[in-house]
Structure 1
Amino acid sequence: MDVTSTLSLGDPLEPARKATAEMLQTRERTFSLPQPFYNDERLFQIDMQEIFHKEWLIAGMTCEIPAKGNYLTLQIGDNPIIVIRGAEGVVHAFHNVCRHRGSRLCTSDKGKVAKLVCPYHQWTYELDGRLLFAGTEMGADFDMKQYGLKPVHCKTSGGFIFISLADNPPAIDEFLAGLAHYMEPYDMENAKVAVQSVMSEKANWKLVLENNRECYHCNGSHPELLNTLLEWDDTTDPRADQAFKDHVAESAARWEAEKIPYAHAGFGLRNRIVRMPLLKGTVSMTIDGKPGCNKLMGRIKDPDLGSMRILHLPHSWNHCMGDHLINFTVWPVSAQESIVITKWLVHKDAVEGVDYDVERLRQVWDATNDQDRRLGEENQRGINSTAYQPGPYSKTYEFGVVNFIDWYSGQMLKNLGAEPAPYLKGVATE
């Protein structure tokens, strides 16, 4: 580690790192995490350093930057990032930081440029990050080759853009190959974001993910969502009845005929792809279950594709239907605040007001997101109490939460260089 990145007396977080490892090694596996994991700012900084700065994150969708010079920006903790389409369609990612005096290069969420020009002193960079112009003021011996933009690892698959700030990111190619196969029918290069929402939730990012990983709360909180969503995502779920299993079998036969991938695909606990039917008689996550967009995605002919659910830890889940897709990403802001970004995607040729109505398209998940926000914020308020202590997860209704915490615990201990937790022995968390 660069000595300038720590205080001269050592890493101020070192005691907190040791405490974090010890708490994870000794916790009860099927109980929620100890309080500091949800509300301590030191532990939040460790989350950022060991999870969000080291794992692969979904930065956006390739259709958001369709042509050379199109870019999008995002913020990962203190790190501003730019993702840009370069020559021959190649997608690059860089730290959005000028190599002169550190100013941000791009200050808009999205845009299009011929070159990347710093607004402070006009240092100019090629779309592949090379420094092209710094002015004669830097002197005749100034070597521009030494001052290109600092790159960020970047990969694309199935219309998704993945980035990692790590020097050596974890392996992801197997998942990306699977993702490309499952996303093929959607032809995501020919999609567009119809609308997006940005919601602030006063809750720790792990609480947002825990809430997403179970539907135990759905009956009491999500009437709009349950107009179409079937809670279970596997016929082996102990709560699944025969009617559900028959519905899955009928749907699978129809998908097979159209050559739509549907078999469950798991990649450790980090990534999962599963296609499940929606409630019988519904085809899309709209208030009435009818298509939200009349123009179907890619090569799809039958709107009744259920919902293909894509999980990508630490921060994303997705619902892919025949007529539109919904992408969710969670971005930590502080120990007790997160940003949830939701994007609704449709065929690029779909016409607003003709093929789809934005308000109708987003109605169900606007309501669901807000309901989840209130649940998360109340969860956070209770956890902040001196009365909080870890409580037991249901092994049936909340197994998805246990899986998430297993993954988090395993990755955190690994990235901290600590001994694995005894309770994770034999659990494939990667």
Structure 2
Amino acid sequence: MTQNDLLNLSYASLDQAREEMNGLLKERRRDYSLPQPLYNDPHMFRIDMEEVFQKEWLFVGMTSEIPTKGDYFTVDIGQNPVLIVRGADGSINAYHNSCRHRGSRICSEHRGKVANLVCPYHQWTYDTKGNLLFAGTEMGDEFDKQKHGLKKTHCKVGGGFIFVSLGKQEPEGDFDAFLATLDEYMEPYDVENTKLAVESNMYEKANWKLVIENNRECYHCEGSHPELLNTLLEWDDTNDPRAPQSFLDYYARQAAEWEAEGIPHEHKSFGVRNRIVRMPLKEGTQVMTIDGQEGCSKLLGRIKNRHLGSMRILHLPNSWNHMQSDHFIVFRVLPISAQESLVTTKWFVHKDAVEGVDYNPERLRQVWDATNDQDRRLGEENQLGINSVGYEPGPYSKTYEFGVINFLDWYTDTVLKNLG
């Protein structure tokens, strides 16, 4: 069933679905996978969209994607087109990409640059602060332009990461503490002086929760990700209960180097939803390239040590990220339907780096193109198996899959809270 088909759901069936979802989440075993409808039912998917993706903070992109005034990019969150634009004063603004005249999308391109925002339908014109500048004399003398500016979405920035929330009210919780820590931990990378080197978009025929579940464990890595394991250590973070003493000793040696350079590295968690941790890569490797050696000749920001490992940044419900010495990689997941998701991957380098001289886009993306496609196949097979009449929730390993348990705990608590 497509997103448009969801419009045909009756209010009665949706109310029934809310009651059923409430019961399924309250009764589920917290160390087991979810009941089947939560992975494949279009009614449940619509509730996910309304109670998670239309109410919570979502990662949408990086500030360096829109470096100067009038630069913009667009993103579709379910049926909600959103426009993110850099204002004349340098601020980052997010709006519903819907004209206040008759609702047409204003910006149809994924990226662009404008002096003002002009709706192509009837040329209503807005500035980058969302103010309506022109609606034509046809609207009559009584028409008040000030009451017809673009509708804003909540928007916050931390460490160069842009987050939006589509809810009427800002989500509850101390999100600002996470943003402040992002500012501190991202400072060495100087995001404003980076640029987007390459981007990929991958459609995966799997529920968005299966995409996140797969990311939250490396139980499957040894059998599935040879390219990634050229550089990646499988431990989830410095608190991973599986990590041997040899890893802890290696981490301590690396941490001493990072401290000498003033590079933040201590594990920071904000509940189970947001986490920042710097992890070393395999000894002798620098970044996540196929051979573990440099991806770009220019280091980022004030970084001098190529052996910074990967600073992993988690933001539920839709993002994980790897910050490295000469480039960084951000991932964004957006639901498309009950059994389809869009995974966007972006690679960033120093803004002065020259393609073909300082970096090769194909080399930058080689490892994660392979890994993403491997994960796509795993997710799609997972979805097909879950669709079976023989599926029932199965147990997670509390050591190898604790990250998945944490994610589904967050998901369960968030949906129950928002359902009221």
Does the TM-score normalized on the shorter chain lie above 0.5?
Answer: yes
Give, in whole Å, the separation in 1 of the partners of 2:170 and 2:395.
33
Question: In structure 2, what residue type is equivalent to 1:139?
Answer: G
In the TM superposition, what is the alpha-carbon distance from 1:11 to its structure 2 partner?
5.7
Stretches of 4+ moved more than 3 A in 1?
A: 9-12, 233-236
Give, in whole Å, the separation in 2 of the partners of 1:365 and 1:378.
20
Provide Cα deviations, 1:163-208, integer angstroms capped at 9, x if missing partner: 1101112231111001100000000000011000000000000000
The answer to whether structure 1 residue 345 and structure 2 residue 348 are counterparts is yes
In the TM superposition, what is the alpha-carbon distance from 1:236 to its structure 2 partner?
3.8
Q: Do the aligned partners of 1:317 and 1:327 also contact (CA within 8 Å) in 2? A: yes
> Which residue of 249, 258, 262 corresponds with 1:259?
262
> Which residue of 285, 289, 300 corresponds with 2:288?
285
In the TM superposition, what is the alpha-carbon distance from 1:59 to its structure 2 partner?
1.3
Report matched runs for 1:49-198 at 5 Å.
49-170=50-171, 171=173, 172-198=175-201
SS at match of 2:306: coil
Give, in whole Å, the separation in 2 of the partners of 1:330 and 1:159.
18
Question: In structure 1, what residue type is equivalent to 2:164?
Answer: I
> Percent identical across equivalent pairs?
67
Report matched runs for 1:221-232 at 5 Å.
221-232=224-235
CA-based RMSD: 1.3
Aligned counterpart, 2:21: 20
Structure 2 CA distance for partners of 1:11 and 1:85, relative to 1, 3 Å: farther
Question: In structure 2, what residue type is equivalent to 1:13?
Answer: L
Give, in whole Å, the separation in 2 of the partners of 1:359 and 1:120.
39
SS at match of 1:87: coil
> Which residue of 188, 194, 206 corresponds with 1:203?
206
Q: Do the aligned partners of 2:49 and 2:78 also contact (CA within 8 Å) in 1? A: yes
Aligned counterpart, 1:274: 277
In the TM superposition, what is the alpha-carbon distance from 1:157 to its structure 2 partner?
1.3
The answer to whether structure 1 residue 233 and structure 2 residue 274 are counterparts is no
Provide Cα deviations, 1:89-113, integer angstroms capped at 9, x if missing partner: 0111100000111110000000000
Question: In structure 1, what residue type is equivalent to 2:40?
Answer: N
In the TM superposition, what is the alpha-carbon distance from 1:12 to its structure 2 partner?
4.2
Aligned counterpart, 1:334: 337
TM-score, normalisation: structure 1? 0.94
**Aligned residues between the structures:** 412
Aligned counterpart, 1:303: 306
SS at match of 1:363: helix
TM-score, normalisation: structure 2? 0.96
Q: Do the aligned partners of 2:58 and 2:165 also contact (CA within 8 Å) in 1? A: yes
List gaps (5 residues or longer) in structure 1.
1-5, 418-430
In the TM superposition, what is the alpha-carbon distance from 1:388 to its structure 2 partner?
0.3
Provide Cα deviations, 1:313-359, integer angstroms capped at 9, x if missing partner: 00000000001100000010000000000000111011111111111
Give, in whole Å, the separation in 1 of the partners of 2:12 and 2:129.
34
List gaps (5 residues or longer) in structure 2.
1-6
Give, in whole Å, the separation in 1 of the partners of 2:137 and 2:51.
41
Give, in whole Å, the separation in 2 of the partners of 1:234 and 1:270.
15
Give, in whole Å, the separation in 2 of the partners of 1:233 and 1:405.
17
Give, in whole Å, the separation in 1 of the partners of 2:354 and 2:237.
35
SS at match of 2:89: helix
SS at match of 1:182: helix
Give, in whole Å, the separation in 2 of the partners of 1:347 and 1:62.
14
In the TM superposition, what is the alpha-carbon distance from 1:237 to its structure 2 partner?
2.6
